[in-house]
Amino acid sequence: MRSENQQQRTEDIPAVCGGHPVREAVNRLPYARPQILAEDIRAVEDVLHTTFLTTGPAIDRMEAHLCEVTGARYAVAVSNGTAALHLAVMAAGLTEGDELITTPITFAASANCARYVGARPVFADIDPQTWEIDPAEIERRITPRTRAVVPVDYTGQTPALEQIRELCDRHHLTMIEDAAHSLGTVYRGKKVGTWGDMTTFSFHAIKTVSGGEGGAVLTDDEELYRKLRTLRTHGITRDPAELQYPSEGPWYYELQTLSMNYRLTDIQAALIDSQLNHLADFAARRRQIREKYDAAFAGIPQLILQQSLPETEAVRHLYVLRLNPDRLQIDRRQFFDALEAEGVGCNVNYIPVYRLPYYEKLGYERGLCPQAEALYASMLSIPFYSAMTDQDVDDVIRAVRRLCAYYQKA
C-alpha cells in the first residue's frame, strides 16, 4: 500500500522542495514502535492475578534476568531510565559544585541527572566519525571538580569504553554508562552492563526491550548496590544489618537519607522480564535491518553513515542518517518533510543538550561542541525497529534513494 503511495508521491517532490505544506501521508511508517508478543501479554496478565502489583517477585525475576543477560552482579529495577541516572549520581555521592562530563548528543536526562543534585554537566564533543563522545575531549574537560563521566552509547553503538574506563580510573572518577540505547551490545567481548561502575538502562516504550516505562541500574559493587536499593524507595531501609537503632518490631524501618519513590511496578517488571526472552531475536532482526540499510546507503554521496568501532558488536536502537550538504540541494528540514510526505516517519535524535533553553538560561553557549552542532544540523533518524517487515525496510530505502537522486547537487 505504502509503495503505491510512494509511486503516487514521486510527482509531489517539487512541491515539497518548494516549501509547500506536506500532505498527510497515508499508512505512515512510524520511526519507532515496540514489539509486544502474546507471551508478554500473558506475563502481564499473570501478575494482575497476584497480590503483588508492585515490588513483588516479578521485580526479583527481572533483576536476575538482567544480570544473566549482561553479566553484571547486581541490578536494581527503577521506574525509568531518568530515575536510574538520578540514583546512580546520588549513589556516586555527587553534590553541589561537582562536575559531570557527558555528550551533548543525547537525551537531556544524561545531563539533567547532574542538575538534580546541584552538580554541573560539562559537555565534551563527539568523534566526527562515530558520533560518540570522544575520550580526548573528556580528558580536556576534566577539572579538580570533576567527579563523574557519563558516556552514552548513542544509537546502541559505543564510544571507546576502554579508554574512558582507563581515564576514569586514572582521575578517580565514577563512570556511569548511560546504556539506554544499547541493551545487548558487546564491546571488546564484554557486554554493556559491566564497563561502568554503574550502568543505566531504559525500558521506555520504543527501546529494544520495552516496559512502557522502566529502568535499571547495574553494578558489580555491593556497596553501591545497597545504596541504590535504599535510594530507590525514599531512602528507607529495613535491613537489620543497616539499622541505626535496634528494631522496634516487624513494622520497623528507618529513613536514613532523603530520596524519591522510584519503584517499578511488578506489572512492568513482568513485561520487561518477558521481553528479555526475545532480546536475542530482536537483536538479530535489528542487525539484519541495519545491514540492509548500510548496504543500500553506503555508496550514496548525499549520505554519511555512522561509523562503528571495530571492537563494538552493536544492537542498534536508532538508525541515523547524516546528509551531505555539499551534495544535496535541500536541507535537513526539507529532507525530513519530504520523507514524511513519502510516508516514512522520521525524528531527530538529538538537539545538542546545551542548546535547550533550560541550559541556555544557565549560561551554556552555542558553539560549545562544534562537531555535535554540525551533526545536529544535518541528521535525521529513519524507521528502525524489530517489527519492521522486509517490505517496510525496502520502502524506506526506496524513498531515501529517490530523494537523494532527485535532489542531488550536480
Ligand X SMILES: Cc1ncc(COP(=O)(O)O)c(C=O)c1O
Stretch that binds ligand X, among 96-104, 106-114, 118-126, 191-199 (CB under 6 A): 106-114
Among 31, 74, 107, 364, binds ligand X (CB under 6 A): 107
Q: Which is nearer to ligand X, 262 or 364 (CB)?
A: 262
Q: Which of 178, 197, 373, 395 binds ligand X (CB under 6 A)?
A: 178
81 binds ligand X (CB under 6 A): yes
Is residue 361 part of the annotated active site? The answer reads no
d(CA 172, CA 100): 13
Nearest CB to ligand X, comparing residues 105 and 330:
105
In the complex, least distance from residue 153 CB atom to ligand X, rounded to whole angstroms: 8
Identify residue 359 by its one-letter amino acid code. Answer: Y
Sole window of 43-51, 174-182, 256-264, 326-334 interacting with ligand X (rule: CB under 6 A): 174-182
Grid coordinates standing for 88? Answer: 546512580
Contact 236, 255 (CB under 8 A): yes
193 belongs to the binding site for ligand X (CB under 6 A):
no
Minimum distance between the CB of residue 213 and ligand X, rounded to whole angstroms?
Answer: 6
Give the residue closest to ligand X by C-beta: 81
Cα torsion angle, 154, 104, 89, 361, sign = negative
Which residues does 246 contact at the CB level (< 8 Å), separation at least 6?
A: none
Phi/psi for 37 (5° steps) reads: -100, 165
Query: Does 86 help bind ligand X (rule: CB under 6 A)?
Result: no
> In this chain, which of 120, 204, 229, 232 binds ligand X, going by CB under 6 A?
204
Residue among 2, 61, 63, 82 that touches ligand X (CB under 6 A): 82
- Among residues 181, 191, 232, 286, which is the contact residue for ligand X, using CB under 6 A? 181
Q: Examine residue 308 and tell whether it contacts ligand X (CB under 6 A).
A: no
Count of residues binding ligand X (CB under 6 A)?
Answer: 14
Helix axes 390-406, 332-341, angle to 10 degrees: 130
Cβ proximity to ligand X: between 79 and 274 the closer is: 79
C-alpha dihedral sign at 29, 319, 278, 272: negative
**Residues 119 to 158 in contact with ligand X, rule: CB under 6 A:** 152
Asked if residue 109 binds ligand X (CB under 6 A), the reply is: yes
**Considering only residues 51-70, where is the footprint of ligand X by CB under 6 A?**
none
Q: DSSP 3-state assignment of 168?
A: helix
Burial (Cβ within 10 Å: 0-12, 13-18, ≥19) of residue 2: buried
Residues 210-239 that bind ligand X (CB under 6 A): 215
Distance in Å, CB of 158 to ligand X, minimum: 12
Q: Does 112 bind ligand X (CB under 6 A)?
A: no
CA distances from 341 to 2, 40, 142 (A): 11, 34, 45
Residue 376 interacts with ligand X (CB under 6 A)? no
Place of cell 570522544: 134
Among 45, 72, 32, which Cα is nearest to 316's?
Answer: 32
φ and ψ at 73, to 5 degrees? Answer: -80, -40
Q: Judged by CB, which is closer to ligand X: 25, or 114?
A: 114
| Distance of alpha carbon 128 from alpha carbon 316, whole angstroms | 19
Catalytic residue among 207, 227, 361, 409: 207
Tell me which stretch binds ligand X (CB under 6 A): 139-147, 178-186, 190-198, 352-360: 178-186
Nearest to 98 by CA among 84, 115, 82: 115
Instruction: Using CB under 6 A, pick the residue from 80, 259, 371, 381 that binds ligand X.
Output: 80
Taking the CA atoms of residue 307, residue 297, residue 102 and residue 91 in that order, the dihedral angle to the nearest 10 degrees is -90
Binding site for ligand X (CB under 6 A): 80-82, 106-107, 109-110, 152, 178, 180-181, 202, 204, 215
Catalytic residue numbers read 207
